[in-house]
Amino acid sequence: MAGRPEQSNSAHTADPPRRRLLPPGVAAILAATMTAQPHALRRPFRARPVYRVLYKRLRLPRPFVHGLLSGAKRLTVASQVARREALARDLGPDVAMALEEPTAARRFEPADLPGAAETAARCVELYRDYRADARDRDALARNPNKRFLLSVLAGNEFAAHPELLKFMVSRPLLDAATRYLGTLPVVEGAALWWTPPNDTVRASQAWHIDELAARQVKMLLNCLPVDAENGPVHFLPAALSERLRAEAGHRRGRFNDARVAAPGVEDKVQASTGPAGSGVLLDSSRCLHFGSRGNRADRLVLTFHYLPIEAPTETRYRLQLARLPEALADLDERQRLALGFG
């Protein structure tokens, strides 16, 4: 109508709300941070309960159980298996701490491994806190039948100690495990073990092999000085262990001390003694070994296992972090994969 001002229809003509834009530099930083954030990779199913039924209860042969469970796991993480094997093939020729095939073990001194002495010292601090808080007495009371091996830290408790996780995936160790296993492994389990004085010979204090997989690399770092009075890890080279087990028809369980005390064998036994920061890398699935036997003084050892991602079963003290600690943001691809992150 003439003379009447037009009425606006706000539903159709109102300007859309303006978005607040971040300065270009800030937006780029945020985008890069979001893109680079490591994410937890898929892990295979947890096979330990099935393994116990098949191997422990039904007493099926270990190679059969290993092949069955490992094959099933490979199907669930096939792309990861391929990626990890490719990274192993791409590993350069110089692996300073490589394990040799006949022995499948490598002892080292603190000077051989960067960070070993510092890591041992940090573990001693945690151990002293553990004892000052009387957690040692609680642990002894809870474990009347296994007072020779008590955990100060185990499994995912290491998430609160990224400095220890960083040592576990330090490249000299990780590269040695990768070369030996033919795949970039995961740090499957970890524990800081305290062994008080004892006079028992049971369980892992007797000669045995670890039955988690056909092959693994186990790290044992002496956090306190270790001599014969501290119950050091004793082990035999892999080739000799395999020969002795074949001759004895040994398939599972503990191995008789008398066979190791035989002429030509006893002098091949090695003990992982040395100062704090010394230790041994060994394939505990192939090398007969024992530890924590007959201590007269405390022993403190940081232990962790490198296993293929498709290993048939898991440790009791599994390491599977929900998120990567911020303090580990500078890890490279191989190190992140070893902790289960992409």
Model pLDDT for residues 280-315, shown as the tens digit of each residue: 999 999 999 998 888 889 999 999 999 999 999 999
Give the pLDDT of residue 198: 83
Kindly tell me if the per-residue pLDDT of 16 is higher than 70: no
Averaged pLDDT for residues 166-172: 98
**Residue 3 banded pLDDT, cuts 50, 70, 90:** very low
For 86-97, the pLDDT digits (tens) are: 999 999 889 999
pLDDT band at 6 (very low <50, low <70, confident <90, very high): very low
Say which DSSP state 14 is in. Answer: S
**For position 1, what pLDDT does the model report?**
43
Over the Cα atoms of the chain, what is R_g?
26
Q: At what angle do helices 78-89 and 62-76 cross, to 10 degrees?
A: 100
How many CA atoms are closer than 13 Å to the CA of 241, on its beta-carbon side? 28
% of residues, the chain, pLDDT over 70? 88
What are the percentages of helix, strand and coil residues in the chain, rounded to 5?
40, 15, 45
Cα–Cα nearest to 179, from 318, 51, 337, 306: 306
Question: Buried b vs exposed e over 302-323: b needs ≥16 C-beta within 10 Å?
Answer: bbbbbbbbbbbbbbebbbbbee
Which of the residue ranges 29-43, 109-123, 223-237 would you say has the lowest mean pLDDT?
29-43
Q: What is the pLDDT of residue 224?
A: 97
Q: Which residue has the higher pLDDT, 141 or 35?
A: 141
Cα 71 from Cα 269, distance rounded (Å): 35
The whole-number pLDDT of residue 136 equals 76
Local structure of residue 277 (DSSP, 8 states) = T
pLDDT band at 20 (very low <50, low <70, confident <90, very high): low
Q: d(Cα 88, Cα 334) in Å, to the nearest integer?
A: 10
pLDDT above 50 for 8: no
Confidence band for 28, pLDDT divided at 50, 70 and 90: low
Q: What is the pLDDT of residues 202-256, one digit of tens each?
A: 778 899 999 999 999 999 999 999 999 999 999 999 999 999 999 999 999 899 9
Q: Which CA distances in Å does 250 have to 102, 254, 288?
A: 19, 9, 11
- Residue 95: CB partners within 8 Å, gap ≥ 6? 175, 176, 179
Over residues 1-14, the mean pLDDT reads 44
Mean pLDDT of 58-83: 96
Q: Would you state the pLDDT for residue 182?
A: 97
- The pLDDT, as a whole number, for residue 148 is 74
What is the distance between the alpha carbons of residues 144 and 124, in angstroms, rounded to a whole number? 24
Interatomic CA distance for residues 149 and 167, integer angstroms: 23
Average pLDDT, the chain: 89
Residue 85 has pLDDT above 90, yes or no: yes
In this predicted structure, the answer to whether residue 81 has a pLDDT above a threshold of 80 is yes
Domains within the chain, CATH numbers bracketed: 48-338 (2.60.120.620)
Do 341 and 335 form a contact (C-beta atoms < 8 A)?
A: no
Quickly state the pLDDT bin for 36 (edges 50, 70, 90). Answer: low
pLDDT in tens, 254-277: 999 999 999 999 999 999 999 999
Instruction: Give every CB contact of residue 59 below 8 A, 6+ residues apart in sequence.
Output: none
The region that residue 193 occupies, defined by phi over 0 for left and psi between -120 and 50 for alpha, beta otherwise, is beta
Q: What is the mean pLDDT of residues 194-206?
A: 84
Whether the CB-CB separation of 284 and 228 falls below 8 Å is answered with: no
